[in-house]
Each structure stands twice: as C-alpha cells, then as structure tokens.
Amino acid sequence: MTVTHNTQDLLSPLTRLLSPTMLNEQQTQSTNNNNNSHQSLPWLYIPKRIIVALLTSFGLLLLSVVQTNFAITASFILNPKDSKDIPVDADTLSYTTSKIQWTSVEMGYLNSIFYLGYIATHIPSGYLVTKLSPTRLFVYPLLIMLILNFFLPFSISILSNQYHINYYSTAIIRLLQGFCAGCAFPASHGIVANWCPPNERGRMGGFIYTGLYAGPVLGFALGGLIAKYFGHYIIYYATGMLGLIWSLTFILLIYDSPREHPTISKAEKDHIEKSIAEVASLYEPKPVPWRAILTSLPVWAIAFAHFARGWTFYLLLTNQPAFLNAFGFSVAENGTLGSLPHIMKVLVALQSGFLADYMRLKLWWSTKTVRKIMTCTGYIVEAMCLMVVCHVHNGYIGIALLTIGVGASGLMVSGWHLNHQDLAPRYASVLAGFTAFIGTTAGIISPIIAGILTRKQDILGWTYVFTICSLVLFGAAIFYFFFAAGDLQIWATHVETQTVRLHSEKLPSVTAFEHSIQEDVPIKKQKNNSQSFMTSSYNTFNDDQNSNNIITKN
C-alpha cells in the first residue's frame, strides 16, 4: 500500500475535532494527490474498507483477549498446586496467587460483574450510534478498557487481602472494563453501515465479527506461554501494550465515512457511496419503533440465539482453563490445547460466508433459509458435543469434542450474527444493542452457576455445567428455526410494501428480481431468479462496481 503520511495526515484526527472547513480543504487536496498516486501505482493500493474491517475485527479480538487474561488468573487462584510447571512460591515468583484465598463462587461473581457492566451500555450505545460517531464510540471505550487492564495485577496481588480489599478493588475494575466493552458491538454495526457496500455485507461483516472468536486463540495460546516463562500477570501488560498500539493505529487510519477519508481513492469512495446511496432510504434516521421491535418474533429469535451464544462463549472465556485443570493439564498444555476449539471456530466462521453465498447464489435458497441452516446446524452440533464431553475422562478426547462442537458454532457468524441487517438496516445498531443486552445476561448467569456447581473443581461438577449448556443451545436452535426471518420488516421501512430489485452483469443467471417485504419467498421473474438484495454476491474491488441494488416503492 502506498501511503505517504505528511503532517496533514498525522494530525487528521485532531483536525476532525478542530476545524471542519480546514478538513474539507485538506481532504480535497489530499484526495487529489492520492488519486494521482493510485493511477500511477494501482496495484499497490489497498482498499480502505479492507483496513477498516481488519482494525475493527482486531478491536473485537482484543475485547475477548482481555476476558481470557482474567480466566487464566482464575485458574491459578482456584488450583495453584495443579499448575505443575509454574512456580507458586512467593520467593521464586514476584507475583503469586498462592496467598489469595478466593473461592470458586467468589470467582464466579468476579467473572459475572464484567458482564454486569457490559450489559448496561449495550442499549444506550446502540442508540448513540445513530447520533454520534460510531468509530469514536468503538475505539475510545476500548482504549479505556485496555488501560484499566494494567491495574488488575496491582489490585489482585499487591493490595491487602484483609477485609477483601483486593477482591472488591478487582471487582470495581472489572465492572468499569465491562462498561467500556459494552459499546463495541453496537458501534461495530455503525461502522459496517457506513463502510460496507450492501453486496459485501455478508463477508465483510462475517470477517469483522470473527475477531470476537479469534480472541481466545490469542489469549489462551500466548497467555499460557507467557505465564510459563514470564509469570502469568505479565499477560495483562502484554495485552494492554498491544491495545495501545492498536488504538493509536485505529485513531490515525479510520474515519467515520469514505467521504471523510483523506487518502481513499476516488474510485473506491464513489463505489461505496453509490452502493449505500442506492439503499439510503433504509438508513435514514427515524424514531426507533420500540414497540414493534419488542413484539417482533424474528427479533426475539436473534435475541435467544445471542443468549445461547453468550451462555457457552462467556462460560468458556471465563472457565475453560479451570475446566482443563480438572484433567490435570499443565498451564502450557492448558493454553495450547485450549486454543484449538477457538482456532477451529475462527476457521469455520471465515468459511461460513463463502458457504452462505453458495447457498444463495448457486442453490437459490432464501435469506431466511440460509440464516436458519447456519445457526441451527452450528448450535445443534455444539450441543451434542457438549452433552458428550462431560461424560469422558480422557482430557484429549474432551479437547477433541470441544474442538468439533465449538468449531461448528462458527457457522452462526453467517447466521443470526448478520440477521440484524436483514430485518432492519436502519435500526441494525439498535437491534444489536438490544439482542446483545439479552445475550450478555447469559454472561452474568452462567459463570455464577458454574462457580456454584464446580466448588470441588472435579469432572462431576463440569458434567452439570455442560449439560445445562447443551439444553440452552438446543432450546435456542428450536426457537430460531420456527421464528427467525430473513426479509426486511415492515416496521423498518415505514411503508406498507416495497419492491427490491437486483441487477448484475456478473451474474447472467440473475437478471432481475423483486419481492414484497411481507414475504420471504421471492417471486421469480425469470427462470432461476431468486436472491435477497442485502446478501448479494461478493466481487473484487473493481468488479463490485458492476453490481447495483435498486429499491423502488410500489
């Protein structure tokens, strides 16, 4: 990528805050200079929306890594003698958990309090995204969360254990981190809406939200190695430093919209703006129809799917090291083997976008059908594996079952994760905030239940924990199968009927398409014509300009 950062570029974040007029003049001059550079060396140009996707996904990754940091510490506190390759004597390790006498129930409360803060900011931030800058609502709260990470080793191990001072101070920091983290998911939907052309939303959105599930890979694998060779509290500083570098990079390179970006090419800017303008009526600010949202069964289908995901995902984030300790794994083995399920989940999530596109473009299945298949298949496979894993006594078999089950759940990234945009593009961030509120309640409940059921830290306790997980997943899959939808909802358009057409020179078998938003099954205008406009095919940067989504009102 050819990027020449002159003084204007480096000060651009400050300029955005100080002088809109100056910004417009600088953007015009910078864009003209960059267009000349792009014309001379087009093969060096990296589309800015790819950079947006990469850095947004990495921010969500860091959010998950922060949660794994405390999970590793919790495993030491609960089982200090089981960590056989880590010195726990105060004379050989400057920071030690051997003197901290917190019970599994108390650790469950510390895990839950993060999600108590997390849940509190979902709905407010979802609303603020429609009023304020989504990029700032995304990066600055995460930056505060990462700075707070530096204080956790001090609050856990340095402050006095008398009167539980260290415990309560740790709880306060965890609560504040949760408040900050809760802004990320709704804000990310605002970033997607501003930067992602509708016909790329499936894959770009899928890639961004894969970052959430890549976090445990980095957090558990590197966390285990760092704990072994440098002491496990170093992982808090490592995550914090990585977060500071990411935050600075995000602030310097990411802008609210293509129009504000000083180094974007004219071709890419025009392509994104034209694509979004063609469906602009779906994104115009309108009063939020809370009553319609709260009484919509398709919205509740997403919410319950989010709840099931939260129950299992947050449980593994906060308790997986403690569970693997029950099999007698060392901390290094715990980190390496424990990352395998999440590696599989990331790989499946990345491929799910291609699979979903194949179902729609080649098999001509409706959006609703594809969302249901991806979500229900992932959840049912995961539920079956968790039902079995709690009855095995070999740790390696347990890891294999976790890898298959957790990996299969990656299909949901192209399932309910993108369903908000299908139902109501105008209110996608609001829906994301609401469903995340419901989903995060699982993050509050499941660690507490796990702490109560695993007081003895044995396999029997985990049998009960994973049986409950399986039942939650089965229930969510059944509800989503019967009530999920893939069509644009009437309350999201403020019109009674609407026609959607797709024209694409790159898809000769799809010449025209239209359907009523009141039905998910399209009316075929010609043979083999069937496709939802919000999930059309993904092409390369240059080929994308041949695809148009046109919306007309009856």
In order along its 554 residues, the chain shows pLDDT tens digits of 434 444 344 334 433 433 333 334 444 444 455 554 445 456 677 888 899 999 999 999 999 899 888 888 877 776 655 444 344 333 334 344 556 778 778 887 888 888 888 888 888 888 888 788 899 999 999 999 999 999 999 888 877 677 778 889 999 999 999 999 988 988 888 888 888 887 776 678 778 888 888 888 888 878 877 877 787 788 999 999 999 999 999 999 999 888 888 888 888 888 888 877 766 666 566 788 889 999 999 999 999 999 999 899 888 877 777 777 777 777 667 777 888 888 898 889 888 877 887 887 777 888 889 999 999 999 999 999 999 987 887 888 888 999 999 999 988 888 888 788 788 877 887 888 889 889 888 878 888 888 888 877 677 788 888 999 999 999 999 999 999 998 888 888 754 434 333 333 333 332 222 233 333 333 333 333 333 333 333 333 333 434 333 333 33
- Co-location of 260 and 304 in the same domain: no
DSSP letter (8 states) at residue 247: H
Residue 53 located in a structural domain: yes
Number of domains composing the chain:
2
Which of 333, 303, 312, 327 lies closest to 450 in space, CA to CA?
Answer: 312
The verdict on residue 347 lying in a domain is yes
Integer Rg of the chain from CA: 24
Looking at the fold, whether 192 and 316 belong to one and the same domain comes out as no
Domain boundary, last residue among 445, 466, 489: 489
What is the tens place of the pLDDT at every residue in 46-69? 888 899 999 999 999 999 899 888
189 and 90: one domain?
Answer: yes
Of the candidates 457, 489, 521, which is a domain's last residue?
Answer: 489
Residue 239 domain-assigned (yes or no): yes
The pair of three-digit structure tokens given for residue 292, joined into one six-digit string = 């319609």
Is 95 part of a structural domain of the chain?
yes
Q: Is residue 212 part of a domain?
A: yes
pLDDT above 90 covers a percentage of the chain that reads 24
Question: DSSP assignment, residue 156?
Answer: I
Query: Considering the domain boundaries, does residue 375 fall inside one?
Result: yes
The answer on 454 and 309 residing in a single domain is yes
What pLDDT is stored for residue 436 in this prediction? 85
Q: 181 and 317 share a domain?
A: no
Is residue 337 within 8 Å of 320, Cβ to Cβ?
no
Task: Could you list the beta-strand ranges (E) of 29-88.
Answer: none
Residue after which a domain boundary falls, among 439, 471, 489: 489
327 part of a folded domain: yes
pTM equals: 0.67
Task: State whether 341 and 465 are in the same domain.
Answer: yes
339 and 465 share a domain?
A: yes
Helix (H, G, I), strand (E, B) or coil at 503: strand
Asked if 334 and 264 sit in the same domain, the reply is no
Are 335 and 481 in the same domain? Answer: yes
- For residues 275 and 549, the answer to whether their CB atoms sit within 8 Å is yes
Q: 229 burial class (0-12, 13-18, 19+ CB within 10 angstroms)?
A: exposed
Asked whether residue 150 falls in the same domain as residue 221, the answer is: yes
Residue 284: strand, helix, or coil: coil
Rounded Cα distance, 119 and 23, in Å: 36
Do 248 and 301 share a domain, yes or no?
A: no
Give the pLDDT score at 298.
Answer: 95
H or E stretch covering 481? helix 459-483
- My answer on whether 311 and 264 are in the same domain is no
177/26 Cα distance (integer angstroms): 37
Residue 282 lies in a domain: no
| Domain of residue 367, residue span | 294-489
Cα pseudo-dihedral 531, 533, 535, 540, rounded to 10? 100
- Given a contact cutoff of 8 angstroms between Cβ atoms, the answer to whether 123 and 97 are in contact is no
| Token pair for 141 | 């709260």
What is the C-alpha separation between 152 and 80, in angstroms, rounded?
19
Distance (Å, rounded) from C-alpha 256 to C-alpha 138? 11
The CATH number linked to 450 is: 1.20.1250.20
Give the strand pairing for 499-504 and 547-552: antiparallel
pLDDT value for 117:
87
